[in-house]
Amino acid sequence: MTDDRLGMHEPISRRDFLNGTLLASAGLVLGRHAPVFGPVAPADAWDGYGGVGDYARAHGDGYEVMSAGHRMRDGAFERAMAGAIDTGERYDLVCVGGGISGLAAAVFFQRQRGGRCLVLDNHAIFGGEAKRNEFTIDGQTVVAHQGSAIFLVPQPGGYTDAFYKLIGMDRSAFAYQSWRGPAPEMPLGHSPYDEPQQYGFYFGSQFGARPGVWVFDPWGRQLDGAPLPDAVKADLLRWRSVDTAGLRPTTEGDAVSRQLDAITLEAHLMARHQISRETVRTFLSPVEGGGYGLGPDVLSAYCNYAIETQFPGDGDDAQGDQMFPDGNTGFARLMVKTLIPDAFAGPRTVDAVWQNRVRFGALDRAGQATRIRLNATVIRVAHAGDPVRAPHVVITYVRGNRLFTLQARAVVMAGGSWTTKHIVGDLPDGHRAAYAQFYRSPCLMANIAVRHWRFLYRMGISGCRWFEGLGNYLSVRKQATVGGMAPSFGPDSPTVLTIKVLFALPGLPIGEQGSRGRTQLLGTSFAHYERAFREQLGDMFAPGGFDPRKDIAGLILNRWGHAYVNPQPGFFFGTGGQPAPRDVLRERPHGRIAFANTDLAGAMDHRNSIREAERAVNQLAGV
Ligand SMILES: Cc1cc2nc3c(=O)[nH]c(=O)nc-3n(C[C@H](O)[C@H](O)[C@H](O)COP(=O)(O)OP(=O)(O)OC[C@H]3O[C@@H](n4cnc5c(N)ncnc54)[C@H](O)[C@@H]3O)c2cc1C
């Protein structure tokens, strides 16, 4: 299709602000991640549009964040470090990373001990993977999550419930928008992970036809009409029909969980459902183990059970997945309000904190107990001398082009394995070896704002799956009625279609799947992605009258270079009598430094971010 028909020249919110500034050769900055599509990428052409509001300058790992991180990894700051400016600041606790884990560490620290605390984060706003994108479409505001999306109704009186109350979460479940549209009402889910009742499968040109083939109500129709060999259909129906009550772990570390951790997820799925390797790789990679980013051939089978086993009490099935309109961003904002009451106007309520803007000037004011410093990439954390006797830790960070140092009595490293292993200068060999067994894979979260979704309603679906191109599924969701959110929603309402693009490359070794995926994610320009999304949605939704030129109102790309932890067999419970890598880091703080982040649990979940943070803060109580 031509650029014009795709709408590449429409004045939508995307790259209109490009200034074409060539910051650096992409080859130099990206290092191992040289571009695969097209030549040098100017920062703006890579970042693209960021939306409006608090998060306009922070969507995914932006070009500057990524560049500073890669320069840190490559040792580019080594020589300059000696000349870093000492800010003269002395803190009781520094949290490296301002995602849910780093913020939670600050909350626990202030509650348990109190003192001077600083949170350092490399983005233009706190939250880590829990951030929002915000668009204005024809005068209306629509939002979506950049990464971390859902939570479950916490078990009353349980761990999660207590923490939510501590940070001012004033309800355990949300009310959601009511229907505003023609009859019949189309049932909609609350979250991007719900498979809605009215669903379709799309088989594109790789399955032999362009335009492709739609199969509506694919499971109800037993895949009738799907352009698939009978053996594959039989595999998929078997996979779908096997009940979930089979052998499952009940507590983390029980015999079943250890058996599962000894094999790959692929082997487990093949055996459990009696299906072929090919079916697993082609059709199930993104949904089985999809929360882990890579192919099931390299993941531990325990991955599929970890989260439910780690938090057995949470999740009231009747109420389903819960979601702030912008995902778990809501929790990050509540924590910041708890730490720094001036950070948002109004009371500490879900409504006020969700709706009111961040007062950035209040985050890092001298004299307040907790400070949050943004746009600061930490490049070195090391004890001032022997870790056993050192009186403090020295933290060096880069902000703009300048290097700074400060001191802390204790440090929680909450940024994640992929960065912590490069930063802690005096990390013991055992810890280093443990971190070497952590893999993280990339993910692109594309938020595509549309002026309406009548095209889906006409097709009789609110969600779908596809098996080629970018991403694998999407669904329209009704939103929680927090803050000033419109109370009703229908096919004429603007909304955001979120497409998660994973880079599973089954058949390749674990490290290579991740690094090849990153090369592709980081080496692709915004314009290339924009064109590909327009073309793909144009093909898929043509039967509903979708016109990419008129119907797309904006596109934000959230590129996460190290989105998901990828536990390999043995990751959770160890192999050959050796401790699991995560336990080395969880059980052994290093002098005045302790380790947090959700990846230490081997499962990406905000509750793990919180739990690991509390454990790390407790470990530092005596230093
Ligand atoms: C696409 C996606 C979807 C998800 N969906 C869900 C979901 O639905 N529900 C759920 O519970 N969880 C979900 N998660 C898991 C998510 O990881 C956690 O919920 C949580 O947000 C992680 O918080 P964290 O603080 O542990 O890590 P992060 O959010 O990664 O925070 C770490 C922060 O530290 C910063 N940092 C790292 N190194 C440095 C440095 N050197 N200097 C300064 N700053 C640094 C990072 O840039 C980041 O801002 C999802 C994750 C992804 C990627």
- Whether 148 is in the pocket of ligand 1, judged by its Cβ within 6 Å, is yes
For the stretch 322-380, pLDDT in tens is 999 999 999 999 999 999 999 999 999 999 999 999 999 999 999 999 999 999 999 99
- Whether 608 is in the pocket of ligand 1, judged by its Cβ within 6 Å, is no
Strand partners, 488: 178
Closest alpha carbon to 181 in 454, 448, 450, 449: 454
For residue 246, what pLDDT band results from cuts at 50, 70 and 90?
low
pLDDT for res 243: 63
Are residues 338 and 370 in contact, defined by beta-carbon separation less than 8 angstroms? no
Query: Picking from 208-217, 229-238, 399-408, which range would have the lowest pLDDT averaged per residue?
Result: 208-217
CA of 413 to the centre of ligand 1 (A): 13
pLDDT for res 104: 99
Alpha carbons 472 and 453: distance in angstroms, whole number: 18
Whether the per-residue pLDDT at 465 is higher than 70: the answer is yes
Query: Which runs of E-coded beta strand occur in 384-517?
Result: 393-399, 402-413, 440-450, 463-466, 473-475, 488-489, 495-502
CA-CA-CA-CA torsion for 489, 474, 443, 468, nearest 10 degrees?
Answer: -160
For the stretch 124-159, pLDDT in tens is 999 999 999 999 999 999 999 999 999 999 999 999
- Whether 137 is in the pocket of ligand 1, judged by its Cβ within 6 Å, is no
Rounded to an integer, the average pLDDT of 430-452 is: 98
Whether the per-residue pLDDT at 41 is higher than 90: the answer is no
Residue 30, both tokens: 């990206």
Non-local (6+) Cβ contacts of 285 within 8 A are: 295, 296, 502, 504, 506
For residue 12, what pLDDT band results from cuts at 50, 70 and 90?
low
pLDDT for res 486: 94
CA of 252 to the centre of ligand 1 (A): 23
H/E stretch holding 410: strand 402-413
pTM, to two decimals = 0.95
pLDDT for res 37: 34
Q: How many percent of the chain have pLDDT more than 70?
A: 94
Whether the per-residue pLDDT at 17 is higher than 50: the answer is no
Q: How many percent of the chain have pLDDT more than 90?
A: 87
Ligand 1 atom closest to Cα of residue 376: 43
Closest alpha carbon to 598 in 204, 311, 314: 311
Residue 282, both tokens: 């082609």
Are residues 90 and 521 in contact, defined by beta-carbon separation less than 8 angstroms? no
Closest alpha carbon to 364 in 69, 84, 125: 125
pLDDT for res 244: 58
Non-local (6+) Cβ contacts of 54 within 8 A are: 125, 132, 134, 357, 358
pLDDT for res 13: 53
CA of 417 to the centre of ligand 1 (A): 11
Length reported for the chain = 623
- Whether 102 is in the pocket of ligand 1, judged by its Cβ within 6 Å, is yes
Rounded to an integer, the average pLDDT of 165-181 is: 97
- Whether 96 is in the pocket of ligand 1, judged by its Cβ within 6 Å, is yes
CA of 416 to the centre of ligand 1 (A): 8
Residue 174, both tokens: 């949300």
Whether the per-residue pLDDT at 532 is higher than 70: the answer is yes
For residue 42, what pLDDT band results from cuts at 50, 70 and 90?
low
Nearest CA to ligand 1 atom 48: 128
Rounded to an integer, the average pLDDT of 46-58 is: 95
Are residues 165 and 154 in contact, defined by beta-carbon separation less than 8 angstroms? no
Nearest CA to ligand 1 atom 51: 148
For the stretch 250-309, pLDDT in tens is 999 999 999 999 999 999 999 999 999 999 999 988 787 667 999 999 999 999 999 999
pLDDT for res 30: 42
Rounded to an integer, the average pLDDT of 442-464 is: 98
- Whether 494 is in the pocket of ligand 1, judged by its Cβ within 6 Å, is no
pLDDT for res 32: 45
- Whether 566 is in the pocket of ligand 1, judged by its Cβ within 6 Å, is no
Ligand 1 atom closest to Cα of residue 422: 41
Query: Picking from 21-35, 112-126, 127-141, which range would have the lowest pLDDT averaged per residue?
Result: 21-35
Tell me the pLDDT of the chain averaged across its residues.
93
Whether the per-residue pLDDT at 39 is higher than 60: the answer is no
Closest alpha carbon to 223 in 509, 577, 467, 399: 467
Are residues 216 and 200 in contact, defined by beta-carbon separation less than 8 angstroms? yes
Nearest CA to ligand 1 atom 12: 605
For the stretch 483-531, pLDDT in tens is 989 999 999 999 999 999 999 999 999 999 999 999 999 999 999 999 9
Residue 349, CB-side half-sphere exposure with 13 Å CA sphere? 7
Greater confidence (510 vs 18) lies with 510
Nearest CA to ligand 1 atom 14: 148
Non-local (6+) Cβ contacts of 313 within 8 A are: 154, 155, 158
- Whether 412 is in the pocket of ligand 1, judged by its Cβ within 6 Å, is no
Rounded to an integer, the average pLDDT of 80-84 is: 95
CA of 131 to the centre of ligand 1 (A): 9
Residue 309, both tokens: 């086993």
Are residues 364 and 116 in contact, defined by beta-carbon separation less than 8 angstroms? no
- Whether 561 is in the pocket of ligand 1, judged by its Cβ within 6 Å, is no
Alpha carbons 266 and 296: distance in angstroms, whole number: 5
CA of 169 to the centre of ligand 1 (A): 20
